């Protein structure tokens, strides 16, 4: 192959590669705008209920974000307190960001790689018997179709935390 012909083939390959990279980048930027993350809200609410036995409410919008890492972001989220708690909500959050654990996802399991809470109000308390509200009803076993909730990393930005233990005063 002559040097001129090799240069022409190389130029065509580089152009094709640039077009492919450009299309992938365009799809990555456009995809969150055309996909509806709110359609996942019922499944997320059901998975949390199954894993914890508690209600999760996502009042605000939910959206996909790809950069700096792919995740779902939801606003105005509340997680119910244990029955008999002093507050109705154990956690009330302005914004929640959830990124999957990619190795688990590739293996067919759904796990949370990173959970970020922005401006949460968290109420931790124990009841009169000393049982803390962060102890959840055991999930049904995965063999029975249940789901085990795993969180790799938790980040909190500008939050409030209260703790009440009636036995300790």
pLDDT tens digits, one per residue of 75-120: 999 999 998 888 999 999 999 998 888 887 788 777 888 999 999 9
pLDDT of residue 33: 53
pTM of model > 0.75: no
pLDDT per residue as tens digits for the range 15-59: 776 667 666 665 566 555 555 677 888 888 888 888 888 999 999
Task: Report the pLDDT value the prediction gives residue 22, as an integer from 0 to 100.
Answer: 63
Average pLDDT over the chain reads 80
Long-range contacts of 77-86 (CB under 8 A, 24+ apart): 79/48, 79/54, 79/55, 80/54, 80/55, 80/56, 81/54, 81/123, 81/125, 81/133, 82/54, 82/127, 82/131, 82/133, 82/135, 84/127, 85/123, 85/125, 85/127, 85/133, 86/123, 86/125, 86/164
pLDDT band at 65 (very low <50, low <70, confident <90, very high): confident
Given this model, what pLDDT does residue 93 score?
95
Average pLDDT over residues 145-165: 82
In this predicted structure, what is the pLDDT of residue 156? 93
């Amino acid at each position: 192959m002559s040097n001129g012909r090799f240069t022409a083939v190389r130029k065509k390959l580089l152009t094709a590669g640039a077009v492919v990279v450009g299309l992938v980048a365009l799809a990555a930027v456009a995809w969150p705008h055309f996909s509806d993350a709110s359609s996942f809200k019922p499944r997320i609410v059901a998975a949390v209920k199954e894993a914890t036995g508690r209600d999760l409410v996502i009042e605000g919008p939910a959206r996909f974000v790809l950069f700096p890492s792919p995740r779902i972001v939801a606003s105005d989220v509340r997680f119910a307190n244990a029955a008999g708690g002093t507050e109705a909500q154990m956690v009330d959050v302005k914004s929640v960001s959830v990124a999957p654990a990619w190795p688990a996802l590739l293996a067919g399991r759904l796990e949370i790689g990173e959970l970020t809470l922005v401006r949460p109000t968290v109420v931790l308390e124990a009841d009169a018997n000393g049982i803390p509200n962060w102890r959840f009803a055991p999930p049904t076993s995965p063999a029975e179709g249940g789901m085990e909730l795993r969180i790799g990393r938790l980040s909190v930005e500008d939050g409030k935390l209260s703790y009440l233990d009636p036995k300790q005063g």
